[in-house]
Amino acid sequence: EAQVTQNPRYLITVTGKKLTVTCSQNMNHEYMSWYRQDPGLGLRQIYYSMNVEVTDKGDVPEGYKVSRKEKRNFPLILESPSPNQTSLYFCASSAQGPYEQYFGPGTRLTVT
């Protein structure tokens, strides 16, 4: 089954404790991206990757890091999480470019 998977699905953590949210796709897609969704603010793009080893900032990259060492994986790293990073996070992928994306199930992160 073609899918984008994210882990964990739910995470409660404390300020400053480094965490990683994994994202994996099995569709051999070139493009992957991370978004956060907040009430009243909609979906906002954090980082994207056009292909392996190529990543670039979206609209809200501050406080986040990403890496794309393999085509299928695109982890999101929060080096020192803060409460304002409490949000619902989505990973997405598409064959090429930011077109017709498939979204993962989401990761709900709470930072206390």
Partner 1 sequence: QKEVEQNSGPLSVPEGAIASLNCTYSDRGSQSFFWYRQYSGKSPELIMSIYSNGDKEDGRFTAQLNKASQYVSLLIRDSQPSDSATYLCAVNGPSNTGKLIFGQGTTLQVKP
Q: Is 42 in the site for partner 1 (CB under 8 A)?
A: yes
Q: Say which residue the tokens 């949210």 belong to.
A: 21
Beta carbon of residue 44, minimum distance to partner 1 (angstroms, whole number): 7
CA proximity to 4, closest of 102, 88, 100? 102
Nearer to partner 1, 80 or 96 (CB): 96
**Binding residue (CB under 8 A) for partner 1 from 24, 25, 34, 49:** 49
Q: Is 66 in the site for partner 1 (CB under 8 A)?
A: no
Distance, CA of 48 to CA of 98 (rounded, Å): 9
Q: Is 10 in the site for partner 1 (CB under 8 A)?
A: no
Nearer to partner 1, 83 or 105 (CB): 105
Beta carbon of residue 84, minimum distance to partner 1 (angstroms, whole number): 19
Does residue 44 sit in helix, strand or coil?
strand
Point out which span in 17-25, 28-36, 64-72, 76-84 binds partner 1 (CB under 8 A).
28-36
